């Protein structure tokens, strides 16, 4: 127990950090291009925020939340997603009084009591964006294009973009009636969850992961047939904008998303080679959410991407750039008299902005050379006994094995210039 992580969680080790940084930097760069600013909200919130913001009938709220009572008897929950928290922050800090739309992004850990398997964890990371305060389909298109741009910039192909419209409170009741009519004769065959969804939220039956419910859903009346005029023209315009931006998509009328607050546009991006956990991004419009958490009526749209799944996809395609740890200079010293000089030189080099390393364990010359290679050192400084006596040190270029003596006093100047030239 003491030496293993809790089920469904993972350590991100130094060897993995390069890949994570690469992923995060790509996301940050593209958000900057699209004008989205970063927001960081707390890891835990009042439980009620998620109950209200995600919806009581969802699997996330019913079965997957890490909820606890703190020492002050408050019910708190580790965030299972970030949209509700971003909206809470938007309302709390009255961000709506500033520029509109407010365009935000986040990167961070989320927590769900899910059944762990490849690509599904209990602590996982999401990158997501939210745009609050814009009602037209332009922002829907911008957000979808942003998501696709991130995945394409990482080099991923075989992406499948699915879109749908889930309507609005005006057109959903009609669809709800038709769905209930459709499922009534099949009620006894539905799983227990879907039987309870039948009254509360029959749309979510279409989203059920139980295979038999999936079979029973074939031929169910689609929302497309019931969309009101406004929703229908919003969806048409969105399709037009995506096409004009060169995106290919598939309209999937079964794409309903698990969360209650979604209105109109819903979308998902799959990376098909991942198999069962192929959904790398899910998002949609949530015009009812800001009001639901106590803010002024404000439209919103966003998405979240699963970072572990993207990393799995990148690994399988060898798309992670080489990010080996490396140092500029490794200082070798084997005689005790020169230790302080070596130490001081390394510290001086670091102060000058160079990556410099030295031996901590009294290794032999040969072993220190090996260490230098392990650190991928570009240069090695050898503080040899005779050289130091003459005010000199040996500088070795590790790439071409060239070696020369330089004056001790010139070490920093020469190395700075050499490293800069090689960059
Ligand atoms: P959702 O917030 O459920 O719409 O999920 C958005 C994205 O987060 C999904 O498309 C997945 O890529 C990722 N995701 C959701 N749940 C998990 C999980 N338990 N483990 C890893 N990734 C997840």
pLDDT bin (cut points 50, 70, 90) of residue 422 is: confident
Specify which residues 162 forms β-bridges with: 250, 268
Mean per-residue pLDDT, 86-101: 93
Residue range 223-246, pLDDT digits in tens: 888 899 999 999 999 999 999 999
Nearest to 176 by CA among 152, 200, 194, 154: 200
CB distance 270 to ligand 1 below 6 Å: no
Best residue among 64, 118, 124, 129 to mutate for probing ligand 1, ranked by most atoms within 8 Å of CB? 124
For residue 274, how far is its CA from the centre of ligand 1 (angstroms)?
Answer: 13
Closest ligand 1 atom to Cα of 119: 21
Best residue among 115, 126, 278 to mutate for probing ligand 1, ranked by most atoms within 8 Å of CB? 126
Residue tagged 């059920």 (tokens)? 208
For residue 419, how far is its CA from the centre of ligand 1 (angstroms)?
Answer: 43
pLDDT bin (cut points 50, 70, 90) of residue 257 is: low
- Residues with Cβ within 8 Å of residue 137, at least 6 apart in sequence: 234, 235, 237, 238, 241, 265
Q: Report whether pLDDT(258) > 60.
A: no
Q: Which domains does the chain have, with CATH numbers?
A: 14-171+227-316 (3.30.930.10), 329-421 (3.40.50.800)
Residue tagged 């005689």 (tokens)? 335
What does the block give as tokens for 403? 């070696």
Q: Any idea how long the chain is?
A: 423
For residue 306, how far is its CA from the centre of ligand 1 (angstroms)?
Answer: 5
pLDDT bin (cut points 50, 70, 90) of residue 212 is: very high
- pTM for the model stands at 0.89
**C-alpha 256: how far from chain center:** 22
Residue nearest to atom 8 of ligand 1 (CA): 306
Q: Are 319 and 156 in contact (CB under 8 A)?
A: yes
For residue 305, how far is its CA from the centre of ligand 1 (angstroms)?
Answer: 7
SS3 call for 44:
strand
DSSP letter for each residue of 219-268? TPPPGGGG--HHHHHHHHHHHHHHHHTT---EE-TT---S-TT-EEEEEE
CB distance 127 to ligand 1 below 6 Å: no
Q: Are 55 and 61 in contact (CB under 8 A)?
A: yes
Residue range 100-154, pLDDT digits in tens: 899 999 999 999 999 999 889 999 999 999 999 999 999 999 999 999 999 999 9
pLDDT bin (cut points 50, 70, 90) of residue 209 is: confident
């Amino acid at each position: 127990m003491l030496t293993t992580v809790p089920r469904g969680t993972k350590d991100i080790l130094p060897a993995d950090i390069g890949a994570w940084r690469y992923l995060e930097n790509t996301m940050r760069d593209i958000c900057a291009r699209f004008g989205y600013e970063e927001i960081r909200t707390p890891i835990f919130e009042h439980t009620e925020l998620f109950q209200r913001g995600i919806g009581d009938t969802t699997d996330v709220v019913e079965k997957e939340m890490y909820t606890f009572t703190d020492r002050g008897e408050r019910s708190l929950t580790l965030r299972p997603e970030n949209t509700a928290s971003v909206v809470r922050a938007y309302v709390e800090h009255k961000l709506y009084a500033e520029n509109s739309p407010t365009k935000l992004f986040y990167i961070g850990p989320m927590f769900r009591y899910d059944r762990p398997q490849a690509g599904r964890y209990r602590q996982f990371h999401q990158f997501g964006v939210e745009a609050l305060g814009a009602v037209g389909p332009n922002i829907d298109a911008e957000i979808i294009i942003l998501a696709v741009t991130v995945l394409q910039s990482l080099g991923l192909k075989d992406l499948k973009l699915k879109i749908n419209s889930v309507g609005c409170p005006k057109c959903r009741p009609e669809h709800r009636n038709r769905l209930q009519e459709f499922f009534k004769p099949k009620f006894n065959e539905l799983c227990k969850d879907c039987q309870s969804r039948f009254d509360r939220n029959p749309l979510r039956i279409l989203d059920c992961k139980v295979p038999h419910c999936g079979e029973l859903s074939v031929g169910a009346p689609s929302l497309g047939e019931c969309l009101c005029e406004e929703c229908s023209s919003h969806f048409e315009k969105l399709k037009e904008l995506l096409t004009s931006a060169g995106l290919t998509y598939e309209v999937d009328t079964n794409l309903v998303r698990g969360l209650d607050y979604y209105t109109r546009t819903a979308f998902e991006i799959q990376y098909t080679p991942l198999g069962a956990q192929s959904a790398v991004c899910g998002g949609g419009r949530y015009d009812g959410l800001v009001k639901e958490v106590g803010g002024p009526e404000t439209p919103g749209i966003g998405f979240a991407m699963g970072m572990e799944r993207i990393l799995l996809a990148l690994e399988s395609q060898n798309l992670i750039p080489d990010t080996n740890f490396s140092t500029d200079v490794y200082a070798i010293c084997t005689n005790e008299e020169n230790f302080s000089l070596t130490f001081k030189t390394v510290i001086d080099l670091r102060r000058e902005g160079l990556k410099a390393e030295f031996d901590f364990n009294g290794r032999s010359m040969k072993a220190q050379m090996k260490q230098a290679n392990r650190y991928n050192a570009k240069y090695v400084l050898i503080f040899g006994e005779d050289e130091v006596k003459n005010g000199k040190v040996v500088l070795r270029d590790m790439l071409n094995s060239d070696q020369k003596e330089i004056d001790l006093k010139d070490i920093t100047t020469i190395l700075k210039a050499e490293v800069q030239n090689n960059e």
